[in-house]
Amino acid sequence: MTKTFRTLDDVDVKGKRVLLRVDLNVPMDAGKVTDTTRLERVMPTITELSSKGAKVILLAHFGRPKGRDDKNSLKPVAAALADVIKKPVGFADDCIGEPAAKAIAAMNDGDILCLENTRFHPEEEKNDPAFVAKLAELGDIWVNDAFSAAHRAHATTEGLGHKLPAYAGRTMQAELVALNKALEAPVKPVIAIVGGAKVSTKIDLLENLVTKVQALVIGGGMANTFLHAQGVKVGKSLCEKDLAPTALRILDKAEAANCAIILPVDATVAYHFEANAPSFAYGLDAIPPDSMILDVGPRSIERIHAAIDDAATLVWNGPVGAFELTPFDKGTVEAAKHAAKRTKAGKLVSVAGGGDTVAALNHAGVADDFTYISTAGGAFLEWMEGKPLPGVEVLQVK
Ligand code: 3PG
Ligand code: MG
């Protein structure tokens, strides 16, 4: 997917009005940004464009509003962004029409302006051509730095790429290079670790991965469904019993594709789903009927380590246990630390992303030691499913 795309190296931005699509969809609580990771990620492109004398006009969505709704205003996010990038960030109350046009007309080269939530207009999500045209009037070029919104074919994530000269921002560029190294053109053997609660949300992902990787570790609640399908009695564990046939089909597909499936060989169980609940390690033939599997067991952890040692490339999505509750974070933390160690030793290219994964790796204290960690949720999953991402496709040079 990353064959050729234009980057900021291919354009002289001085004096140009740059419509820069960023992902400012940050978690907020009581009007305050609670995690600034995404703001830090958009900083390199903003500062580069500003220092090269562009007029930097930020386009972004926030939340999923139905029409204009002050609770979803980007104004407080723009203020938080200004703090992170240590530069003034102006704000306009609408992303089209007079408020936007006036604010842009008043900009000097190097200025940064954030336009109000693009989703205040329903035409954004419809990728409405008339809306795209109104946006396009405001800029000379379009730069997409929002990989994490690239699975959406919306006006500002995709439509503008057909109307204006289109370029990948630095964060998008880094993401595409990293993802290319992970699955499209990886050093083999490639191992994937996939965890999380449910098989039902990751069927397409698993079916794609077994055709691309040499080993696939399945952990988390979803592993219970596979174990159940193989006849293991999983007690009161989270388990989608109706998906047993799907699990068996995925196992068959893996075998046909020569992908080794690595399921837990033992389990850490408890009788209550709570932090510090008394926990016990059991073999799979001995899970007590009234207990729940909350993490992989010690022998499984060793197996995962050995599998990581055999790999040159790792792609990781989803925790392998209930990592938000100690001590059921152990499997995830140990595997993450091991992958980090191999990466630091230069033996492994490690790429992780999607939903809880970043939180899990932060919790393990190894986020900085991975080769690349994506802040994308849905977009990362769709990429792992092998689906084309509209916001990336539109950047391809034909
Ligand atoms: C995200 O936070 O995952 C992206 O910004 C996309 O948001 P969406 O799922 O509301 O389209
Ligand atoms: Mg999402």
Q: What angle do CA 260, 262, 266 make, to 5 degrees?
A: 155
Angle between helices 220-229 and 244-256 (to 10 degrees): 90
Q: Range with the lowest mean pLDDT among 29-38, 64-73, 163-172, 186-195?
A: 29-38
Residue of 356 and 382 predicted with greater confidence: 382
| Number of alpha carbons in the 13 Å side-chain half-sphere of residue 302 | 4
Closest CA to 334 of 371, 282, 298, 375: 298
User: What's the chain's average pLDDT?
Assistant: 96
Average pLDDT, integer, range 355-380: 92
Average pLDDT, integer, range 44-51: 98
C-alpha torsion angle, residues 179, 180, 185, 191 (rounded to 10): 0
Ligand closest to the CA atom of residue 27: 1
What does the pLDDT read at residue 140?
98
Tens-place pLDDT, residues 117-173 = 999 999 999 999 999 999 999 999 999 999 999 999 999 999 999 999 999 999 999
328: CB partners within 8 A, 6+ apart = 268, 270, 279, 294, 295, 321, 322
Tens-place pLDDT, residues 212-265 = 999 999 999 999 999 999 999 999 999 999 999 999 999 999 999 999 999 999
Separation between Cα atoms, residue 351 and residue 311, nearest integer Å: 13
Nearest residue (by CA) to ligand 1, atom 6, is: 149
Taking the centre of ligand 2 as the mean of its atom positions, its distance from the CA of residue 378, in whole angstroms, is 5
DSSP helix/strand/coil, 114: strand
**Cα dist from 128 to 24, 61, 154, 298, whole Å:** 22, 16, 8, 54
Residues near ion ligand 2 (CB < 5 Å) are: 377-378
Q: Which residues are known catalytic residues?
A: 38, 198, 355, 378
Taking the centre of ligand 1 as the mean of its atom positions, its distance from the CA of residue 62, in whole angstroms, is 8
Residue 378 CA, closest ligand 1 atom number: 3
% of the chain residues with pLDDT over 90: 95
What is the pTM for the complete model shown?
A: 0.93
Predicted confidence (pLDDT) at residue 2 exceeds the cutoff of 80: no
Predicted confidence (pLDDT) at residue 290 exceeds the cutoff of 50: yes
Instruction: Enter the tokens of residue 307.
Output: 């599998």
Taking the centre of ligand 1 as the mean of its atom positions, its distance from the CA of residue 149, in whole angstroms, is 6
Separation between Cα atoms, residue 49 and residue 21, nearest integer Å: 13
Ligand closest to the CA atom of residue 125: 1
Question: Which single residue is written with the structure tokens 């609408």?
Answer: 94
Taking the centre of ligand 1 as the mean of its atom positions, its distance from the CA of residue 158, in whole angstroms, is 14
Predicted confidence (pLDDT) at residue 1 exceeds the cutoff of 60: no
Per the CB < 8 A criterion, the answer to whether 291 and 270 are in contact is: yes
Taking the centre of ligand 2 as the mean of its atom positions, its distance from the CA of residue 278, in whole angstroms, is 35
Residue 63 CA, closest ligand 1 atom number: 10
Closest CA to 100 of 139, 153, 149: 139
Ligand closest to the CA atom of residue 374: 1
Residue 154 CA, closest ligand 1 atom number: 11
Separation between Cα atoms, residue 102 and residue 121, nearest integer Å: 19
**Cα dist from 391 to 152, 185, 263, 375, whole Å:** 7, 21, 35, 16
What does the pLDDT read at residue 3?
58
**Ligand 1 proximal residues by C-beta, below 6 Å:** 23, 25, 64, 148-149, 152, 377-378
Predicted confidence (pLDDT) at residue 92 exceeds the cutoff of 70: yes
